[in-house]
Structure 1
């Protein structure tokens, strides 16, 4: 396609971009029809995309070509039509990749800006082919850029335009794959560490309603991903389970009534409004864990694949220990509501870990399991000690306690019998000691 550059140069920016999209579609169609294995778009074609669609000049002395806002809107409409009219998914995916795969150069910022506008428009006008391509992009791209795309959609539909949330909510039925990836991205973005990184109430309501309606939604990417294709190390998790557990556990402390209210769309939202939503979300996450044995067994992965990563659990426990330590340091000014919030966070952590381990969503080797138990015990025993990762040397109690997560499960062949760990006496009266690994002692309490 390199020979068409001279014909594009005299055209205005919109006409040149439209012509290049037309030639790009033909070029990729021919490449796919040739039966070439793993077709790749050549470098010259990518250079044309950067020059005439992303407007990154290839010549230092060349004049920068820019579109007006109206021209850019027309380009987005043209792109929507191109993807909608192309019937072959393979061609659509290759065109999308040629336009938006990050190359590690100065054109990437232009790619991200155009991508955010295109996906936002696709949500608004229901262009399912673009959402499907974007779902694949989210699965293959570095998580830093994935959360940037998610932030654009949250800003557009949950913050900037009042009443536009139902439009975004429709992606649940329009493209479950994209919806699943979007949930994974926003749970990665909003880690509840600050007010700015606490999910807007409208977003929370939407995600809770999605998962309540269809708990399997959070497993869509996992169910549709060939097991032979390993996820890139820096990509999003294959499910949002880790992020959802983090939300549920940290929420009681992030939304405490005695803290400054979280601002959403200019109005204060506190624990009274968010609390029941996180409670419902916690129950839904536990229900998803309980679906996993049959799903993993069907795939031949029961006991072999962990959908809740142990590194994620270790990071959550470390975060929770810091939050509880901060609450301890201010007990002279914090009300009983703070103590109740801390207890609820501990209850949810215990419930999530036990249900995940019972259903083999979380797998622990002896060494890693004992280190997780160490961190859990340190939360209760105080003073809180901070651990940056899971490789902290274990304490002196028995490692066998970590290997048998649920007392009702039979002892695995070749492993020592499990001896339940006695509850550790807690010097903090507001945090009663919890028998974390001896069954399911914590009933779900929807009233919290």
Structure 2
């Protein structure tokens, strides 16, 4: 395609970009039809893309051409139509890669800027082929750039334009692959270490509703990707399970940092809204873990592939240790409230680890602890969970989930006074351990929110090992 450069130079910026997209489509179609494996776009073509679409200067002495805001909008519309009209997914993926695969050069900033605007427009106008290509891009690109794209979309649909969240939420059924990768990216972006890195309420509500509607959504990338071992360190995790677990575990303490003034009842402004959401999300994550044995066995990966990595667990425990120390120093929170929130955090971590181990998501030898100097977490929590008996939670295996309108009729809600005890995995009717007295339920859900029924699993389940403080 290098010979078309001279014909593009006299054109205005929009006309040249449109013409190059047309030739790029034809070039990639011929490349695919040639049967060359793997089909690869040559460097000359990539240089044309950088010069006439991304407007990177050919050399230092040549000023880069710029589009007006109107011309850029017209280019985005042309690109949306181009991907929509191309029926072959292979061609679309190669074209998307030629436009937006990062090359480690000066044009990458232009690539990221144009990519964010294109994906945002694709969400707004329902261009599924672009979202499918973006899902592949998120799977193959360094996580630093993945979270940058996620930040653009969150800003566009959860911050800048009031009432635009439903537009983003509706892509759940249109492109589940993109939704899965988007969840993974935002859980990587928002690690709850600061107020700025805490997910907006609208985003949290949307993700909870997505997973409640379809728990397998968070496994789509894993289910559709050939896996032989661990993913590259630089890429996003193969599932968002680790990030979602981090959200649930850290939330009780992270949302009580000194960023909101305490109200007269000792709670913060956003706690009543986020508390039930994180509780519902925690239950959903545990239910996803329960789906894994059959899936891993079908792939022949049970006991061979860990979806939760010990390295990320070590980071989580280190973060929890700092949060526990910060909670002890709060002056506007009573010691009883601080203890209850700390206990809830530790309980959620213990529950998640035991269910993850029981269902093959976490692989580690019993008694193994994280090699961190984290006192409370390392010695008390991880050793008690990893050394204790595996508990099978038979009362969380079926929907409806969390605050579904049918939750009152679910097995979870209908038997709140009969907690499940640990049983042998092959003989569920014969307990292998004596029954334990239930501890006092943690008051995690304000009674003023009847639309979010309390979870019996979270508030009434006997837990035989109690962390000490």
Q: Give the drift of 1:444.
A: 1.7
* CA distance in structure 2 between the partners assigned to 1:286 and 1:446 by the alignment: 16
The answer to whether residue 458 in structure 2 is matched with residue 444 in structure 1 is yes
Q: What secondary structure does 2:41 align onto?
A: coil
Task: Report deviation, 1:182.
Answer: 0.2
Q: Where in structure 2 are the equivalents of 1:253-272 lying within 5 Å? A: 253-256=253-256, 259-260=259-260, 269-272=269-272
Aligned partner of 2:33 in structure 1 is 33
Match of 1:370 among 362, 368, 371: 368
Aligned to 2:172: 172
Partners of 1:218 and 1:117 lie apart in 2 by: 25
Q: For residues 95 and 283 of structure 1, what CA distance do their matches in structure 2 show?
A: 41
Cα shift readout 1:380-405 (whole Å, capped 9, x = no counterpart): 879x9xxxxx9xxxxxx99x964965
| In structure 2, C-alpha distance between the alignment counterparts of 1:46 and 1:26, rounded to whole Å | 15
Q: Residue 444 of structure 1 aligns to a residue in which SS?
A: helix
- Answer whether contact 1:317 1:375 (CA < 8 A) is retained: no
Deviation at 1:326, TM superposition (A): 2.0
Report how far residue 227 of structure 1 moved.
Answer: 2.2
Aligned-pair distance for 1:43?
Answer: 0.5
Question: 1:69-88 to 2 correspondence within 5 Å?
Answer: 69-88=69-88
The Cα offsets for residues 344-377 of structure 1, whole Å up to 9 and x where unpaired, read as: 11110111001101111100035xx522398786
Other-structure match for 2:53: 53
- Aligned-partner Cα distance in 1 for 2:9–2:355: 62
Q: Which digits, 9 at most, give the CA deviation of each residue in 1:184-233, with x for residues without a partner?
A: 00000000011100000000000000000000000000000012586332
State the distance in 1 between where 2:386 and 2:277 align.
Answer: 34
Q: 1:229 to 1:58 in 2, by over 3 A?
A: farther
Residues of 2 paired with 1:257 and 1:321: CA distance? 14
Q: Which residue of 2 aligns with 1:119?
A: 119
Determine the structure 2 residue equivalent to 1:157: 157
Deviation at 1:152, TM superposition (A): 0.4
1:375-414 → structure 2 map (5 Å cutoff) = 378-379=376-377, 402=387, 405=390
**Matched-pair contact (CA < 8 Å) for 2:260–2:269:** no
Deviation at 1:173, TM superposition (A): 0.6
Aligned to 2:449: none
1:271-420 correspondence to structure 2 within 5 Å:
271-330=271-330, 334-365=334-365, 370-372=368-370, 378-379=376-377, 402=387, 405=390
Aligned equivalent of 1:439: none
Distance 1:122 1:319, change over 3 A: same
1:358 touches 1:405 (CA, 8 Å); kept in 2?
yes
Unaligned stretches of 5+ residues in structure 1: 263-267, 385-389, 391-396, 412-419, 421-429, 431-441
Once the two structures are superposed, residues 265-300 of structure 1 have per-residue CA deviations (whole angstroms, 9 ceiling, x without a partner) of xxx951111100000000000000001011111111
2:236 is the alignment partner of 1:240: no
C-alpha RMSD of the superposition: 2.9
Per the TM alignment, residue 312 of structure 1 is displaced from its structure 2 partner at its CA by 1.2
Does the aligned pair in 2 maintain the 1:373–1:402 contact within 8 Å? no
* Segment of structure 1 superposing worse, 333-342 or 171-180: 333-342
Instruction: Please state whether the residue corresponding to 1:235 is helix, strand or coil.
Output: coil
CA contact (8 A) 1:364 1:403 kept: no
**How far apart are the structure 2 equivalents of 1:49 and 1:374?**
48
Change (3 A) 1:224 1:402: same
Distance 2:320 2:261 in 1: 20
- Alpha-carbon separation, structure 2, partners of 1:154 and 1:446: 36
Q: CA deviation at 1:95?
A: 0.2
Q: TM-score, normalised by structure 2?
A: 0.79
TM-score by length of 1: 0.83
Distance 2:49 2:28 in 1: 13
- Aligned partner of 1:204 in structure 2 is 204
Return the alpha-carbon distance in structure 1 between the equivalents of residues 372 and 150 of structure 2. 35
Displacement of 1:318 after TM fit? Answer: 1.2
Q: How many residues align?
A: 399
Aligned to 1:193: 193
Q: CA deviation at 1:258?
A: 7.0
- Distance in structure 2 (CA, Å) of the matches to 1:25 and 1:338: 60
Gaps of 5+ in 2: 263-267, 392-421, 427-432, 434-441, 443-455, 462-469
